[in-house]
């Protein structure tokens, strides 16, 4: 019996931020909405992409909602102020709409869509508040097209954040995560400070601090085939500073 057969109709929203992902979005929407999960909804959070991603998202939503079932929606933001801010907006909307679980997923195809039912099954069966699609547990892997420099940087970033924060989550920087609604409410998304990629670290740290357990399942992380990465020096700098800031606040608390 598969995960989706055991847990039909669980309201799950996949929140997918986009910025200039016009080349990737149609395929990603097809893969996500093709998953055999009742109650699945795809929410695109577009930061006014100049390549027309927002328009394409609206056209896709019209297509997939044609049967009268609201399977896809688009949240348009007027400013590009970071991945973390986009996720807070999308997750907050998903909670307001009644999602029992919220999944974070990149729009570039790097996260394996087929892993979502397994993540949901793990969360429902175990009762944990967070399931991490992990590159760094046994069975996890990175695309061979990643250069040695990027692999070393990614592994260092994880080890650095884990050491500073004292967490056991091996892939604390992972961007492919499934959260229970209660976990996100307990964290209080409005209180998160991180604007960029370090949002991933801050949210996990605060969830564990709030008493929620995490389970990591192995995934293969693929290199994007279209478009360019949004990582820049500013986001890398924030990723270095945020764990230290969280640690200091924790000590003071």
Tens of pLDDT, residues 152-195: 777 887 888 888 888 899 999 899 999 999 999 999 999 998 87
Distance set, CA 68 to CA 15, 65, 71, 118, 224 (Å): 21, 6, 9, 28, 33
Per DSSP, 16 falls in state: E
The pLDDT value recorded for residue 238 is 53
Q: What CATH number is given for 3-252 in this structure? A: 3.90.550.10
User: Would you place residue 246 in the very low, low, confident or very high pLDDT band (cuts 50, 70, 90)?
Assistant: low
Would you call 211 helix, strand, or coil by DSSP? coil
CA distance 52 to 158: 34
pLDDT greater at residue 163 or residue 236? 163
Asked if residue 39 lies in contact with residue 10, where contact means CB atoms within 8 angstroms, the answer is: yes
The pLDDT value recorded for residue 230 is 46
User: Would you place residue 61 in the very low, low, confident or very high pLDDT band (cuts 50, 70, 90)?
Assistant: very high
Q: Quick one: average pLDDT of 245-251?
A: 61
pLDDT greater at residue 86 or residue 163? 86
pLDDT greater at residue 240 or residue 108? 108
pTM of the predicted model as reported, rounded to 2 decimal places: 0.87
């Amino acid at each position: 019996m598969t995960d989706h057969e055991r847990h039909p109709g669980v309201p799950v929203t996949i929140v997918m931020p986009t910025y200039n992902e016009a080349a990737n979005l149609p395929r990603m929407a097809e893969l996500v909405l093709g998953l055999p999960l009742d109650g699945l909804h795809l929410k695109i959070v577009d930061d006014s992409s100049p390549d027309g991603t927002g328009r394409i998202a609206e056209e896709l939503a019209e297509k997939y909602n044609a049967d009268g079932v609201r399977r896809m929606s688009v949240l348009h933001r007027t400013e590009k102020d970071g991945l973390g801010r986009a996720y807070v907006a999308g997750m907050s909307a998903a909670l307001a709409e009644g999602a029992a679980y919220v999944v974070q997923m990149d729009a570039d195809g790097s996260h394996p869509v087929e892993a979502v039912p397994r993540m949901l099954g793990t969360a429902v069966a175990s009762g944990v508040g967070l399931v991490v699609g992990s590159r760094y547990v046994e069975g996890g892997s990175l695309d061979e097209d990643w250069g040695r420099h990027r692999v070393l940087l990614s592994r260092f970033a994880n080890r650095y954040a884990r050491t500073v924060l004292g967490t056991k989550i091996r892939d604390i920087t992972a961007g492919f995560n499934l959260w229970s609604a209660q976990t996100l409410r307990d964290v209080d998304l409005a209180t998160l400070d991180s604007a960029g990629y370090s949002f991933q670290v801050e949210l996990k740290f605060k969830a564990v601090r709030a008493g929620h357990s995490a389970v990591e399942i192995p995934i293969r992380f693929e290199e994007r085939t279209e478009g360019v990465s949004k990582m820049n020096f500013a986001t890398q700098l924030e990723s270095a500073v945020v764990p230290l800031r969280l640690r200091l606040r924790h000590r003071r608390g």
